[in-house]
């Protein structure tokens, strides 16, 4: 019986030059892909914030009509960070909505036309985990009756004029990538890339 001996063959590995070439190509492709992926993440975060705010504004308009009383949307601050608005925190925090916002039925108990602590029946609250990622700035809503502080949107019952203003959402890319939500006097809201007068949106 004959036994056939195996002859040593060539190794199937890669040379150092081939390995370095592959690593260089992979690095170049990654450098091209990372900026696009980063942009996608920023766009997604901005869109999520816009959609959440639009849902809040639609809820406020519907509740004002259903209840026959004013419904407020405004920025809030969860001072103790517990995710719950305590009585002292149930008030409007001005034009900066970057920490979150609340929609609530408003009963002006003392008749001063000011949203005081405890006058809001909270219907929905939204808080940001990272307020610095997307900044949210409300307009003055000057067409509505005096309500302090500025940046408080009041939706009125059917046939009454509601808030009128623009809410601007920005990220680190600035005004060129900003989105605005224009709230009309009828309480309807729409998303835009420019102000109501056609000028560019401004970021803080």
The secondary structure element, H or E, covering residue 102 is strand 100-106
Average pLDDT score over residue span 33-48:
81
Assign 147 a pLDDT band (cuts: 50, 70, 90): confident
Q: Is residue 197 part of a domain?
A: no
Regarding predicted confidence, which is higher, 28 or 67? 67
pLDDT band, residue 203 (cuts 50/70/90): very high
Tell me the average pLDDT across 129-145: 76
**Does residue 9 have a pLDDT over 60?**
no
- Domain count of the fold of the chain: 1
Cα R_g (the chain), whole angstroms = 27
Tracing tokens 């260089």 back to the chain, one arrives at 24
Determine, yes or no, domain membership for 11.
Answer: no
In a domain, 132, yes or no: yes
Query: How many whole angstroms separate alpha carbon 50 and alpha carbon 59?
Result: 14
Give the whole-angstrom CA distance, residue 75 versus residue 127.
10
Averaged pLDDT for residues 133-145 = 80
pLDDT at 190 over 90: yes
Q: Does some domain include residue 52?
A: yes
pTM: 0.77
The pLDDT tens digits for 46-98 are: 999 999 999 999 999 999 999 998 899 999 887 777 777 777 787 888 899 99
- pLDDT, mean over the chain: 83
Q: Containing domain of residue 137, as a range? A: 16-192
Residue 203 lies in a domain: no
145 within domain boundaries: yes
The DSSP string of 129-176 is SSTTTSEEEE---TTSSP-SSTT-EEEPSTTS----EEEEEE-TT-GG
Residue 8 lies in a domain: no
Q: Give the pLDDT of residue 50.
A: 95
Q: Is residue 101 part of a domain?
A: yes
Q: Check residue 181 and give its pLDDT.
A: 96
Q: Tell whether omega for the bond before 143 is within 30 degrees of 0, i.e. cis.
A: no
More confident residue, 169 or 8: 169
Query: Among residues 74, 113, 111, 68, which one has the least CA distance to residue 96?
Result: 74
* CATH label of the domain that carries residue 168: 3.55.40.10
What integer pLDDT is reported at residue 111 of this predicted model? 85
């Amino acid at each position: 019986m004959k036994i056939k001996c195996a002859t040593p063959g060539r190794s199937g590995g890669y040379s150092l030059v081939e390995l370095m070439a592959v690593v260089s190509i992979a690095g170049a492709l990654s450098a091209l892909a990372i900026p696009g992926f980063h942009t996608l993440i920023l766009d997604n975060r901005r869109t999520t914030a816009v959609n959440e705010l639009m849902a809040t504004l639609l809820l406020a308009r519907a509740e004002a009509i259903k209840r026959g009383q004013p419904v407020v949307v405004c920025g809030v601050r969860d001072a103790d960070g517990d995710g719950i608005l305590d009585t002292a925190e149930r008030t409007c925090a001005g034009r900066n909505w970057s920490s979150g916002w609340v929609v609530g039925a408003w009963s002006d108990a003392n008749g001063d036309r000011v949203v005081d602590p405890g006058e809001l029946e909270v219907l929905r609250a939204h808080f940001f985990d990272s307020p610095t990622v997307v900044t949210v700035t409300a307009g003055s809503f000057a067409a509505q009756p005096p309500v302090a502080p500025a940046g408080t949107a009041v939706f009125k019952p059917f046939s009454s004029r509601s808030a009128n203003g623009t809410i601007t959402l920005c990220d680190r890319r600035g005004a060129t990538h900003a989105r605005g939500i224009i709230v009309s006097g009828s309480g309807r809201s729409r998303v835009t890339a420019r102000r109501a007068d056609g000028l560019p949106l401004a970021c803080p």
